Amino acid sequence: MRSVTLAAADGTRLRGLLYPGPGLPADLGFVVGHGFTNHVRKPSVRRVLERLSSRAPVLAVDFRGHGRSGGRTTVGPAETLDIAAAVERLRTLGCNKVVTVGFSLGGSVVLRHAALSTPPDAVIAVSSPARWWVRDTPAMRRVHWLLEQPHGRWGARLLGVRLGAPWPDVPVSPIELVPRIPVPLLIVHGDEDHYFPVADAVALSEAGGGELWLEAGMRHAESATSPELVDRIAGWAADTVVSPDRGGR
């Protein structure tokens, strides 16, 4: 594992970690996008990265406004540039196929990237919202307090998050974007997710024609992702983009 520094297309400086895994160059590599308030050195995130890297090289960056990266978070839209920079770097390092994996906020970002930018070879969204302004759960009401209230924005700084200005225009929601994704899509969601209801995952899968895994007993994002689930995600990616009899939607 080694530290990396990237620059997004708008000049934002990004810091991250590269796990070479079995070695570079490689047939398959993963770019991972973390959840809101997380960063690549957080233990729950590191466990996922390390487990994935047992199968293939992994590159993960702190989203802008998080961890050691520069800038301020836009909570989705500009973070697409962060994923794009990581995908480009991993391809430059010799990964023939690149699969993006995003958790929570990162799930919505990888969906947006796959729909609006040069897509990866497949995309996996774990615990992603389908729509904006979800306030159905106490956890999401707390997130909106952080994003919308002056005291909440100060609280976000205590969590290590630097918030940008509120959205000048509401970006296209994930459920509107998934039909535009031209590569294989996997939606993973816990049936006990305490942020986003199962209905969000079902809606994303149905709108985008993606495969849906509803995980019994799973809660939300990286902290709820077991090693066994990471292994299955890695296996799906390898079967989908590397095996000669699969690929395409």
Residue 125 has pLDDT above 90, yes or no: yes
Question: What are the tokens at 210?
Answer: 């993606």
- At residue 176 the predicted structure's pLDDT band, cuts being 50, 70 and 90, is very high
25 upstream amide cis, omega within 30 of 0: yes
Residues 70-110 pLDDT 10s:
999 999 999 999 999 999 999 999 999 999 999 999 999 99
Rounded (10°) angle between helices 150-158 and 138-148: 100
Q: Which residues contact 112 (CB under 8 A, 6 or more apart)?
A: 76, 77, 80, 171, 172, 174, 177
Are 82 and 59 spatial neighbours (Cβ–Cβ below 8 Å)?
no
Residue 115's pLDDT is what?
98
Question: DSSP for 59-128?
Answer: EEEPPTTBTT--S-B-SSTTHHHHHHHHHHHHHHTTEEEEEEEEETHHHHHHHHHHHHSS--SEEEEES-
Task: Provide the phi-psi class of 76: left if phi over 0, else alpha when psi is between -120 and 50, else beta.
Answer: left
Q: Which is higher by pLDDT, 97 or 147?
A: 97
All structural domains of the chain: 2-241 (3.40.50.1820)
CB count within 10 Å of CB 223 equals 16
Name the burial class of residue 138, with classes exposed (0-12), middle (13-18) and buried (19+) by CB atoms within 10 angstroms of its CB: exposed
Task: State the Cα–Cα distance between residues 192 and 214, nearest whole angstrom.
Answer: 10
Residue 158 has pLDDT above 90, yes or no: no
Pairing, β 13-19 against β 2-7:
antiparallel
Residues 179-198 pLDDT 10s:
999 999 999 999 999 999 99
Q: Which is higher by pLDDT, 163 or 135?
A: 163
In this predicted structure, which of 78-92, 133-147, 210-224 has the lowest mean pLDDT? 133-147
Residue 133 has pLDDT above 90, yes or no: no
Residue 222 has pLDDT above 80, yes or no: yes
